[in-house]
Amino acid sequence: MKKILCIGEALIDMICVDKGSSLADGNNFLKKAGGAPTNVAAAVAALGGQVELAAKVGIDPFGKHLIEVMQSFGVSTKWMLQDEHHFTTFAFVSLMENGERDFYFNRGADGQLSRHEVEGINLSEFSIVHFGSATGFLPGPLQAAYAGLMQKALQQNLLISFDPNYRHLLIKKDTKSFIDQSLNFIESCHFFKVSDEEAMLLSGKPTLEDAVHYLFGKTKAVFAITLGKDGTMLCINHKTIIVPSIAVSPVDTTGAGDAFVGAVLYQLSNQTLEEIKQLDEASWTAIVHNANKAGARTCEYMGAMEAFKHLSSDIFK
């Protein structure tokens, strides 16, 4: 089994636990290791896969914490670099009484991972490269690192996986740039996952049916559209297949999409790109069914990293 490389944000989520409070009014916060590609890497490792995370954190207690959390899951942290000039990135979030999220993003080291630094990664050790966060499309060195690594992965015939992870509160000032960069990855990748809302945002279409038709015209990739309790829409060979969700009583949905992606990549990691391209609809349906199991298991626990402690490939049996 060759390794999976995940690239992107590693950050600290500071979650306000004072019910209904804004960030300004909140007093009590829970520290959680986070970042979409960080979650995917942890999920892959929890399932038994070999995975490395390329990300940047600060030389501070929070960067140290992120590295230690990843190591506890068995993720290789060789490419979790520490930046002496920038602090570890923080995302502060609170759910207010009106149901809206109060969000503040304090960006630091994660955006400083450079193209030059990722050029040192020996891609011959990997079968899959996963790009998984909206922050990779914000201005800064990470944006160029994303583009450069994708081109290098294409040249070496690796499977490219993509999850845009749109965050309105983060991207709202430059949605067009986010869409344009996402479509560039969609046109080049071999697998991607989006939510139904993301599918309509990226396509500019008013219905999911129209969005799927648009995306089929943009990509040759197999892709999955998550539909919450209604399951997952597998899109392959210009056909759509609804793979039912797994019934659970959700405690927290944080990280469920990342667990889904991690489970897909784990199942593909022992095959070459050419073998993956030959997989039929039944094989992909089974892969997505297993990924739905991983997402459902994650919803049964509070917090993504806590949930991943309960993930293993045994859930696929």
The reported pLDDT for the residue numbered 99 is 67
**pLDDT beyond 70 at 164:** yes
Core vs surface per residue 176-207: b (16+ CB within 10 A) or e: eebbebbbebbebbbbbbbbbebbbbbbebee
Three-class secondary structure of residue 60 per DSSP: coil
| Dihedral of alpha carbons 278, 282, 283, 287, sign | positive
Strand order of the β-sheet with 101-106 is 29-34, 11-16, 90-95, 101-106
Distance CA 193, CA 215 (A): 12
**pLDDT beyond 90 at 183:** yes
**pLDDT beyond 90 at 101:** no
User: Tokens 């539909």 identify what position?
Assistant: 227
pTM, two decimals, is 0.96
**pLDDT beyond 90 at 78:** yes
Q: What is the mean pLDDT of residues 103-121?
A: 95
Distance CA 199, CA 215 (A): 8
Q: Which of 169, 104, 167, 163 is nearest to 129 (CA)?
A: 163
Distance CA 274, CA 160 (A): 13
The class (CATH top level) of 7-316 is alpha beta
In this prediction, residue 295 has a pLDDT band, given cuts at 50, 70 and 90, of: very high
Q: What is the mean pLDDT of residues 21-49?
A: 95
In this prediction, residue 46 has a pLDDT band, given cuts at 50, 70 and 90, of: very high
Three-class secondary structure of residue 284 per DSSP: helix
Distance CA 271, CA 127 (A): 8
